[in-house]
Structure 1
């Protein structure tokens, strides 16, 4: 279906921890207007397109949005990688940590599951 190259098109190499930025990026990752939601909207909408060309365009856009999901996930992981539990709590990510550790998960900025997650997972 797709040819997947196991490298990021735009490599991410963040060397500092920044839990505030990680919290902001988590909502861009899986919040209601985040990359995952956008990808799923484009990939859903392609089924209602009247021509093969329009279906192909939305497939390409949705696939590109999935690449953005991968880039954002990498950024969040790197920003949280060396954080202590106390630092995570102080940043307001205690609930996220309690349920998912340092793994990235689809939530909005307040830690609520996003609509896409509730709908598809």
Structure 2
């Protein structure tokens, strides 16, 4: 059961409207690393979690908080759009929608949302459920969560530097702080999963005996760079072996002969003398008229 409280988690009041910035802020709502993504990612991770207790509670606590972050951002967008598109541009531009477009506003915010936020990114692309990660493996999911919070905080930091509105900045300062603690909590939860004996550093903790034992501890140098072997991952008793001159292990990646009905181009089969055989030869003779 979810219950909505008619109070924002943090205030979302800009000092003045800014339709162009409202469009930019859409990225934090419906972008690949926006609040809708982490909301649905954490909700599905929580709903799919098979262990009751601290891990599931942490996931659901954070998921529910992220719903509130979507609400905060949607409220901020609506307030940034106040008066738009009518007053967003100079008086010389008479048509309000044209003025809004020229001024950088997403016209869909006016046409579809009536001056409000949309479940889209800053380019107007709708949010996509394929953005989320909810595998059922808590170690893999928590690592994805830490990465999502890092990307979200990065974009929030960039947007923070794109405005000087004190009201917007105040809300983004709060969002930055929450992204910081969420990164910390997922990293701590990863360590605790290992301490509790639920997972090991590699996910999933299975099939180690079945995997290729020759290639489970090597890095292949496949770029022109020469410094890959200088990293800490290539030193110490458990260091990864760095192969400086790796060789291909497979044969040519040639696709098989296509189905004739698909009319794919392929090289005709030739005998030892270089003469075309069978159907290919018949087709060539028919086209050149040699059978006449």
TM-score range, shorter chain: 0.7 to 0.9
Work out which of the two has the higher radius of gyration on C-alpha atoms and give 1 or 2.
2
TM-score norm. by structure 1 comes to 0.84
> How many residues were matched structurally?
118
Cα deviation 1:49-90 (Å, max 9, x = unaligned) = 232121111111100100100100110000001112344212
- Bigger RCO (CA 8 Å, 6+ sep): 1
Deviation at 1:3, TM superposition (A): 4.4
Kindly report which structure 2 residues correspond to 1:30-109, keeping only aligned pairs within 5 A, or say none: 30-53=30-53, 54-84=55-85, 85-90=97-102, 91-109=104-122
Q: 1:23 to 1:59 in 2, by over 3 A?
A: same
Aligned to 1:27: 27
Q: How far, CA to CA, are the matches of 2:72 and 2:82 in structure 1?
A: 15
Q: How far, CA to CA, are the matches of 1:92 and 1:23 in structure 2?
A: 6
Q: How far, CA to CA, are the matches of 1:34 and 1:14 in structure 2?
A: 20
Aligned to 1:13: 13
Q: How far, CA to CA, are the matches of 1:14 and 1:96 in structure 2?
A: 18
- Residues 9 and 69 in structure 2, CA contact (< 8 A), matched pair in contact too: no
Unaligned runs of 5+ in 2: 86-96, 131-292
User: RMSD of the TM alignment (CA)?
Assistant: 2.2
Q: 1:98 to 1:42 in 2, by over 3 A?
A: same
- Residues 119 and 127 in structure 2, CA contact (< 8 A), matched pair in contact too: yes
- Runs (4+) of structure 1 exceeding 3 A deviation are none
Q: How far, CA to CA, are the matches of 1:82 and 1:45 in structure 2?
A: 40
- Which shows bigger deviation, 23-32 or 37-46? 23-32
Aligned to 2:196: none
- Residues 27 and 108 in structure 1, CA contact (< 8 A), matched pair in contact too: yes
Q: How far, CA to CA, are the matches of 2:110 and 2:3 in structure 1?
A: 34
Q: How far, CA to CA, are the matches of 1:49 and 1:18 in structure 2?
A: 42
Q: 1:114 to 1:4 in 2, by over 3 A?
A: closer
Unaligned runs of 5+ in 1: none
Q: How far, CA to CA, are the matches of 2:57 and 2:111 in structure 1?
A: 41
Deviation at 1:97, TM superposition (A): 2.8
